[in-house]
């Protein structure tokens, strides 16, 4: 689908911080707020701009995150839709992504502890009956997200949106902070004024409350949900296995991946793979080039398995 440099610049700004006003975005791209508003409306009509999502740090509020890969067997369309509905409604499930490759589904699962995770897993297995052929469970140790660099004309790392580790001191929210946090999660672009009216608080109280939530590192930012396929990019998941002697190299590899123009999310994990990352590629030639360059640059890479993303069934966790 045809887009121009202004569309990409606007999408880039919305990816960095979707709560920016049209005037703020206009100043960056040197166009009027009316121009920005019209372009955003067109991007929404073309279904390139699909919505907005509050990017949150679940580890900061006491959750552990697991990556679950599923391979199904004998799954018809009716049973598949029942499973997708089950996962979309689950409070434990955040990202739920259908993929093409060795694995049919990637699920990001939150849990308060190991027992909570296994309760989810047991219930999920019971619901799926005999539809699961194979699964792989990985513990997310560290996650790093950046701006969607394919939107930037220079492919630069403009913003490291978050770096989170599995070991963090839990942050507590008071009653008002909890209410505001839930509102922002369900309505990422709700105005401070509307929040003030709803909770009968002053504008300054709401502003300070949100500032405190951010200071506790629970909220990272508000990001646009963008259909990158309509911009000419296919999305893949790279599952990277490193050699046992790679411990002193893993940070170097992570830094390289984080700064790579085709990558916007990197997970360090314990399990079948050491690193899992979100990759965007225009075509097979570019995809193969990314894989070959990684292998040539880092001899400790044992294997790179890639899955093509077919559909996002769910974009975020229910709070």
Is 247 found in the same domain as 121? yes
Is 40 found in the same domain as 183? no
Is 202 found in the same domain as 114? no
Total tally of structural domains belonging to the chain: 3
| Number of other CB atoms surrounding residue 191 within 10 Å | 12
Tell whether 165 is covered by a domain: no
> Which residues are within 8 A (CB) of 192 and not within 5 positions of it... i.e. 6 or more apart?
203, 206, 207, 210
Average confidence score pLDDT of the chain? 92
Tell whether 160 is covered by a domain: no
* C-alpha span between 136 and 71 (Å, rounded): 9
> Is residue 215 exposed (0-12), middle (13-18) or buried (19+ Cβ within 10 Å)?
exposed
Three-state DSSP class for residue 64: strand
What are the pLDDT digits (tens) for 124-176? Answer: 999 998 899 999 999 999 889 888 999 987 766 555 555 555 555 788 899 99
CA quadruple 189, 161, 179, 170: dihedral, nearest 10: 180
pLDDT at residue 220, rounded to an integer: 84
Which residue range is the domain that position 34 belongs to?
A: 1-46
What are the pLDDT digits (tens) for 192-212? Answer: 999 999 999 999 999 999 999
Tell whether 22 is covered by a domain: yes
pLDDT at residue 156, rounded to an integer: 64
pLDDT at residue 57, rounded to an integer: 87
pLDDT in tens, the chain (319 residues): 689 999 999 999 999 999 999 999 999 999 999 999 999 999 999 999 999 999 888 888 889 999 999 999 988 999 999 999 999 999 999 999 999 999 999 999 999 999 999 999 999 999 998 899 999 999 999 889 888 999 987 766 555 555 555 555 788 899 999 999 999 999 999 999 999 999 999 999 999 999 999 999 898 889 999 999 999 999 999 999 999 877 788 989 999 999 999 999 999 999 999 999 999 999 999 999 999 999 999 999 999 999 999 999 998 877 7
Boundary residue ending a domain (193, 216, 239)? 216
pLDDT at residue 296, rounded to an integer: 95
Token output for 50? 């699909």
Tell whether 278 is covered by a domain: yes
Indicate which CATH number applies to the domain containing 196.
1.10.10
Rounded alpha-carbon distances, angstroms, from residue 102 to 15, 106, 129: 30, 11, 21
Q: How do beta strands 301-314 and 93-100 pair? A: antiparallel
Is 249 found in the same domain as 205? no
Helix (H), strand (E) at residue 266:
strand 263-270
Indicate which CATH number applies to the domain containing 295.
3.30.70.3460
């Amino acid at each position: 689908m045809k887009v121009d440099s202004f569309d990409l610049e606007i999408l880039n700004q919305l990816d960095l911080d979707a709560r920016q006003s049209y005037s703020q975005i206009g100043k960056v791209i040197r166009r009027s707020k009316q121009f920005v508003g019209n372009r955003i409306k067109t991007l929404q009509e073309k279904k390139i701009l699909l919505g907005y999502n509050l990017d949150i740090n679940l580890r900061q509020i006491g959750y552990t995150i697991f990556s679950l890969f599923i391979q199904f067997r004998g799954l018809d369309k009716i049973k598949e839709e029942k499973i997708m509905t089950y996962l979309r409604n689950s409070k434990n499930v955040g990202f739920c992504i259908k993929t093409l490759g060795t694995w049919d589904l990637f699920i990001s699962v939150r849990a308060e502890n190991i027992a909570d995770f296994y309760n989810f897993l047991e219930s999920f297995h019971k619901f799926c009956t005999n539809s699961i052929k194979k699964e792989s469970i990985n513990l997310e140790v560290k996650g790093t997200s950046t701006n969607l660099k394919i939107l930037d004309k220079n492919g630069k790392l403009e913003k490291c949106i978050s770096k989170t580790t599995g070991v963090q001191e839990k942050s507590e929210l008071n009653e008002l902070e909890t209410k505001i946090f839930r509102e922002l999660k369900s309505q990422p672009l709700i105005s401070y004024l509307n929040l003030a009216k709803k909770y009968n608080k002053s504008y300054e109280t709401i502003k300070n409350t949100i500032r405190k939530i951010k200071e506790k590192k629970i909220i990272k930012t508000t990001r646009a949900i963008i259909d990158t396929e309509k911009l000419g990019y296919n999305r893949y998941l790279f599952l990277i296995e490193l050699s046992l002697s790679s411990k002193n190299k893993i940070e170097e590899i992570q830094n390289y991946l984080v700064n790579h123009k085709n990558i916007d999310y990197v997970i360090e994990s314990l399990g079948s793979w050491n690193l899992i990352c979100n990759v965007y590629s225009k075509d097979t030639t570019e995809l193969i080039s990314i894989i070959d360059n990684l292998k040539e640059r880092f001899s400790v890479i044992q294997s790179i398995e890639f899955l093509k993303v077919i559909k996002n069934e769910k974009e975020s966790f229910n709070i």
